[in-house]
Structure 1
Amino acid sequence: MKRQLVSASLAIAALAAGLTACSSSGSPSADGRGSSADPKSATGTVTVWLMDDAQKNWPDLVQRVNDEFAAKYPGVSLKLAYQGWADKVGKLDKALAAGNAPDVVELGNTETMKYVLSGALAAVDRTTFDNSDSWIKALANTCTYQDKLWCVPYYAGARVAVYNSATFQQATGSADFPRTESDLLAALDRIADRSKSDRTFSPLYLPGPYWYAAMSYVAAYGGSIARFDSSGNWHGTLHDPKSQQGISHFVDLVRKYNKGDLTVNEQNQFESMARGHAAAFYGNGFEAASVTAPVTGDPSLKDVVKVATMPGPDGKPLPTFIGGSDLAVTAKSAQPGPATDWIRMFTSAKSEQALADKDILPNNLTQLNPLKNKATTAAAANAVPDAWFTPLAPGWGAVEKQKIIPDMLAAILKGKSVDQATKDADAAIDQLINNAS
Structure 2
Amino acid sequence: MKRRIFAAVAAAALFGVAACGGSDGDSGSGPDAKGELTVWLQVDAQTLWPKAVEQATAEFNKQYPNVKVTVAYQAWADHLTKFDAAAQANTAPDVIEMGTTEMGLYMGANAFTDLTASKSEFANSDSWVKALSDSATYNGKLFGVPYYGGTRSVIYRKDILASVGVTEAPKTWAALMDAVTKLATKHKADPTFSAFFIPGQHQYGAMPFIYDAGGQVAKQGADGKWDATFSSPESVAGLKNWKALMDAGYRGDRTINDATAFSTMVAGKAAMFYDTSGQMKKVFGKDGDAKLKDQIATFRLPSPTKADGFVPAFMGGSDLAIPAKSKNKDWAKAWIKAYTAPAIQQMFVDGGFMSNTTKIVTTDPQMKGYVDTLEATWTLPPAKNWAQVEKNKIVLNMFVDIATNKGTVEAITAAADTAIETTLNAS
TM-score range, shorter chain: 0.7 to 0.9
1:318 matched to 2:311? The reply is yes
Structure 2 CA distance for partners of 1:80 and 1:428, relative to 1, 3 Å: same
Q: Which amino acid aligns with 2:345?
A: E
Structure 2 CA distance for partners of 1:154 and 1:277, relative to 1, 3 Å: same
Q: Distance in 2 between matches of 1:223 and 1:58?
A: 37
**Alignment correspondent of 2:413:** 422
**Alignment correspondent of 1:3:** none
CA contact (8 A) 1:123 1:148 kept: yes
Q: Distance in 1 between matches of 2:47 and 2:262?
A: 15
CA contact (8 A) 1:155 1:324 kept: yes
**Alignment correspondent of 1:113:** 104
Structure 2 CA distance for partners of 1:291 and 1:146, relative to 1, 3 Å: same
The alpha-carbon deviation at position 288 of structure 1 amounts to 2.0
Q: Distance in 2 between matches of 1:28 and 1:226?
A: 38
Q: Which stretch shifts more, 201-210 or 191-200?
A: 191-200
Equivalenced residues, count = 410
Structure 2 CA distance for partners of 1:229 and 1:122, relative to 1, 3 Å: closer
Alignment map for 1:206-285 (pairs within 5 Å) = 206-229=198-221, 232-267=224-259, 269-285=261-277
Q: Distance in 2 between matches of 1:263 and 1:112?
A: 28
1:308 matched to 2:272? The reply is no
Deviations for 1:116-157, whole angstroms, at most 9, x for unmatched residues? 121221234223322223222332232234664321111122
Within the candidate set 314, 321, 324, 1:328 is matched to 321
Structure 2 CA distance for partners of 1:288 and 1:325, relative to 1, 3 Å: same
Normalised by the size of structure 1, how large is the TM-score?
Answer: 0.83
Q: Which amino acid aligns with 1:27?
A: G
List runs of 5+ in structure 1 lacking aligned partners. 1-11
The alpha-carbon deviation at position 222 of structure 1 amounts to 1.9
Structure 2 CA distance for partners of 1:56 and 1:267, relative to 1, 3 Å: farther
CA contact (8 A) 1:359 1:376 kept: no
CA contact (8 A) 2:19 2:111 kept: no
Q: Distance in 2 between matches of 1:357 and 1:236?
A: 38
Alignment map for 1:348-387 (pairs within 5 Å) = 348-368=341-361, 371=362, 375-387=365-377
CA contact (8 A) 1:285 1:307 kept: no
List runs of 5+ in structure 2 lacking aligned partners. 1-11
The alpha-carbon deviation at position 307 of structure 1 amounts to 0.8
Q: Which stretch shifts more, 262-271 or 232-241?
A: 262-271
CA contact (8 A) 2:157 2:297 kept: yes
Q: Distance in 1 between matches of 2:378 and 2:179?
A: 27
Within the candidate set 26, 29, 35, 1:28 is matched to 26
Deviations for 1:350-406, whole angstroms, at most 9, x for unmatched residues? 1011222344221112224xx4x7523333223223223322434333323322111
Kindly, what percent of the aligned residue pairs are identical?
33
Structure 2 CA distance for partners of 1:17 and 1:209, relative to 1, 3 Å: closer
Structure 2 CA distance for partners of 1:320 and 1:128, relative to 1, 3 Å: same
Q: Distance in 1 between matches of 2:45 and 2:39?
A: 16
CA contact (8 A) 2:110 2:324 kept: yes
Q: Which amino acid aligns with 1:57?
A: L
1:132 matched to 2:125? The reply is yes
1:158 matched to 2:156? The reply is no
Deviations for 1:72-98, whole angstroms, at most 9, x for unmatched residues? 5566252321323x4443443344344
Normalised by the size of structure 2, how large is the TM-score?
Answer: 0.85
**Alignment correspondent of 1:7:** none
Q: Which amino acid aligns with 2:104?
A: M
1:204 matched to 2:196? The reply is yes
CA contact (8 A) 1:321 1:389 kept: yes
**Alignment correspondent of 2:6:** none
Structure 2 CA distance for partners of 1:228 and 1:15, relative to 1, 3 Å: farther
Could you list the structure 1 runs, at least 4 aligned residues long, displaced by more than 6 angstroms after superposition.
Answer: 14-20
The alpha-carbon deviation at position 185 of structure 1 amounts to 1.7
Measured on the aligned residues, the alpha-carbon RMSD in Å equals 3.0
**Alignment correspondent of 1:175:** 167
Structure 2 CA distance for partners of 1:410 and 1:146, relative to 1, 3 Å: closer
Secondary structure class of the residue paired with 2:359: helix
Q: Distance in 1 between matches of 2:250 and 2:61?
A: 49
Q: Which stretch shifts more, 411-420 or 302-311?
A: 411-420
Structure 2 CA distance for partners of 1:77 and 1:53, relative to 1, 3 Å: closer
